[in-house]
Homo-oligomer: A and B are copies of this chain.
């Protein structure tokens, strides 16, 4: 902050910062804002706010809302909303699906393709060529939007700056450059599926705070991905590899995991572990497991209780270290949240040191197939909102 203060006399820096501030203010607001609202929120004059808004309108980053409403005494303002013609492409490959989704600056899905499939141990070339076909078809049928960037969510650890997927244990992929195989007109940046899916909880639209800002997100897929979110920001760690809650060891004498360790959380709470523990085929839906519990099936109940205990051990450890006592369950864990919650809360109460003062809470994420694809698009749009001057030429 102080460094900026000393250098902020440079006009171009001020303009850049102020454009970003105005765009973020409009994007964060739950309702359209008048120019006067923007001036008040940003602590600037109405003339300055209006001039900055005009620049953003000209670039399509803001729109004037059609329904200008009276804003108190004086002439009616023309409320400002995020621009509907700016959008981003999010893609996802997971063990059970392929997805491509285009989201605009207002957070609306402009178009999408989601295809189920079994991509465990799949050939990367074949799978990514299928994603390319799906995406190309989607882009060819879009309404009139400018797609400003793309992201790809993958269930593994990536080196985003190098465009390299290091390892996705459940796909069986390692050391490859997906963008080269995809060969799309827009080169996607890579991200971890759970890190990106967590953005759909932290943000209800690009730059607009979602239902939670500080939470642990668990993404129930074939495995279990995760992300820790602090003040709306996904904790990335020193190399962007943070959040691998699925590989927290809950019992060193437990079953072997694909990652090379033993007793990882996903060996108890991953989709395959839950389904096989319940005596169901691996391609059964989580809804079938829920139906069996409701019918009093002891194997189904037992599988969910085993998962709850493992989640309790792993999440208690994470909460003891991070002091983020809100858990949001996504994917199949979200679908099973009501069955997991009582036992999980009991385990957390016992194992979290601070539970006596603030017991952890457990929420389910809004069900959204391929949340990672939406998160990948939100990330691209978040970069636009953070620094709109780059898009103004």
Q: Is A248's CB within 8 Å of the partner chain B?
A: yes
Q: Is A281 an interface residue (CB 8 A)?
A: no
A14 contacts across to B, CB distance below 8 A: 5
Interface hits, A225-252 → B, CB 8 Å: 226, 228, 235-245, 247-252
Residue of B nearest to A317 (CB): B248
Q: A243-B321, A313-B249, A323-B240 are in contact. Are A6 and B42 (CB under 8 A)?
A: yes
Contact between B43 and A18, CB atoms less than 8 A apart: no
- In whole angstroms, how far apart are the Cα atoms of A357 and B166 in the complex? 8
A13 within 8 A of B: yes
Listed residue (A214, A245, A252) with the most chain B CB atoms within 10 angstroms of its CB: A252
Q: How far is the CA of A228 from the CA of B318 in the complex (A)?
A: 12
Q: How far is the CA of A166 from the CA of B325 in the complex (A)?
A: 17
A365 to B203, CA, bound (A): 40
- Which residues of the other chain, B, contact A323 by a CB distance below 8 angstroms? 236-243
Specify which chain B residues have a CB less than 8 angstroms from the CB of A245 in the assembled complex.
Answer: 320-321
Which residues in B have their C-beta under 8 angstroms from that of A140? none
The size class of the interface chain A forms with chain B is 35 or more
The segment out of A127-135, A295-303, A347-355 that lies at the interface is: A347-355
Copies of this polypeptide in the complex? 2
A68 CB → nearest B CB, Å: 26
Partner among B18, B238, B247, B353 whose Cβ is within 8 Å of the Cβ of A167: B353
CA distance A17 to B9 in the complex (A): 14
Do the beta carbons of B43 and A3 come within 8 Å of each other? yes
A380 interface residue per 8 A CB criterion: no
Measured in the bound complex, the distance between the Cα atoms of B357 and A261 in whole Å is 16
Q: State whether A44 touches B6 (Cβ < 8 A).
A: yes
| A1 interface hit (Cβ, 8 Å) | yes
Q: How far is the CA of A253 from the CA of B6 in the complex (A)?
A: 58
Least CB distance, A70 to chain B, in whole angstroms: 28
Q: Is the CB of B167 within 8 A of A261?
A: no
Is there an interface contact between A249 and B2, defined as CB atoms closer than 8 Å? no
A259 at the interface (CB under 8 A from B): yes
Asked if A136 is at the interface (CB within 8 A of a chain B CB), the reply is no
A350, B316: Cα distance in complex, Å: 22
Indicate if the CB atoms of A350 and B17 lie closer than 8 Å. no
Which residues 120-149 of A sit at the B interface, judged by CB distance below 8 A?
A: none
Known contacts A5-B18, A236-B323: A241-B354 contact under CB 8 Å: yes
Q: Whole-angstrom distance from the CB of A239 to the nearest CB of chain B?
A: 6
- Tell me whether A21 and B6 are in contact (CB under 8 A): yes
Which residues of A (66-92) have their CB < 8 Å from a CB of B?
A: none
Q: Which of A214, A351, A356 has the most CB of B within 10 A?
A: A351
Closest 8 A-B residue pairs measured CB to CB?
Answer: A237-B323, A2-B21, A242-B323, A248-B317, A2-B17, A244-B320, A5-B17, A261-B351
14 A-B residue pairs with CB within 8 Å: A4-B4, A4-B8, A236-B323, A239-B354, A239-B358, A241-B323, A243-B321, A245-B320, A247-B351, A247-B353, A248-B317, A248-B321, A251-B251, A260-B351
Additional 5 contacts, C-beta under 8 A, given A157-B353, A228-B321, A238-B325: A6-B21, A7-B43, A166-B354, A244-B353, A252-B313
